[in-house]
Structure 1
């Protein structure tokens, strides 16, 4: 019975570089490296593909056969950048190829075939930090339409409160009747259970005010002053998440409280470009860098454009 960890391994006689021009000893050395490694067949195939990729790039870029002794740090860096810039490969794919080359070069050093590992100081690419995802306009419309079709006034008030004020689920379930000040012309909600137990007062837009007023008119007469209640008392964090799960199934896309909070943040900046200070105050962020996540995509695009400059 064959061992899955050795099945398909390359021996030192295999030309793992196919028809790529390489030095006379390069294929043998790479074969020895594979034979000395305790890796599964799948892992070895991945490494072979990565090294072939590097060999093709080296030959094309330098117009000479691949000889490990002539590989420089500049070669490794340019190979990494070419995979990302020219071939538009995913960051994870680029980093895996870089790790494969680095480990092989380290083995060459340890076995005495190279004096210095040219890949040692080449850093992996940072994964692009994207702004937190929110629902798009069509999804928000679908959600509120399904809520209306079911005449679910409580769900309408819950979803409206989060989407229009950007509150956390903890803010929502801790909201009391005394924390709401609603009128036809304006509205305010005081959230007292924010991070660090710091309270904040935020505006309640018209759509959310209407949804809250409609719900409060039908709110069951229960003990306590919690705004949102269920069959067994105040609505809990779990209750809100169950409500989200219910409408996730109905709408056909994932819904959760923090996704709705992100939705509000994206829409606020879309309608109020660059006003991070106001958004931070509404969301309860003490550090403006936390709020800047919602514009991270644009900043990253600028950084990527700068990185593409070559001389």
Structure 2
């Protein structure tokens, strides 16, 4: 079953179908419960357990944590619950799929049917990392004592030759920082090659544009200019080859009637396609005249070349 579906139930934002199933079980037997209403510090870290149960005087009596069937997550949760049980003198318990199946033996509905109902509900969706008040750590802050312990632990890591230190150094290197607050590589001001806006970049960078938009526009312009230049060169070469071919086949050109153009110029167009990759007569005509004037005008041009003894 997919336990990653989250949604609201009785005003609480539940992050899994297992949490929903446990809440339904509690309601079936009229057991008062609260969800993520208290935080604890466990080994210097903030911990917010799932279900909390209070007596009539508001004193915390029991904590229940709901976990998936992931063995590693279960072991970590047990360690935290054991710590809380000793430090805060509170009863703790952990529920996963196996434990939920056990308590649902006394329920009028099956565990799987309750989970299916939660998954198929219009009020739930696949749970992803959420921000704001729906995040379990929203508004939480470390105590001064915890901050001090974190600082001391970090100093120990920096003073030793540990894998953790290597990871921290690598992270700082990738972020461009040699250490907190200091810039590793010198920066400089540059002006965008397209819009001339000012931007700051590392001196070792080859960046010439202030943003992706300018870079893209410049690339389009360069590509267009290259295409136009290439097309102009091809057109010029096609025209020169037509003049050359006409010179070599002047008798055929002069004797060709205007109603039998295709058979005459087919060897020419085939050769143009072989040499320049162009077989569209409109493009060939444009290469000669600058615009498409058709086959007859092309033949007339070729006859004129021969008549003027150009060929």
TM-score between the two structures when normalised by the length of structure 2: 0.19
More helix, by proportion: 1
More strand, by proportion: 2
Q: Which has the larger radius of gyration?
A: 2
Question: Does 1 or 2 have the higher relative contact order (CA < 8 Å, sep 6+)?
Answer: 1
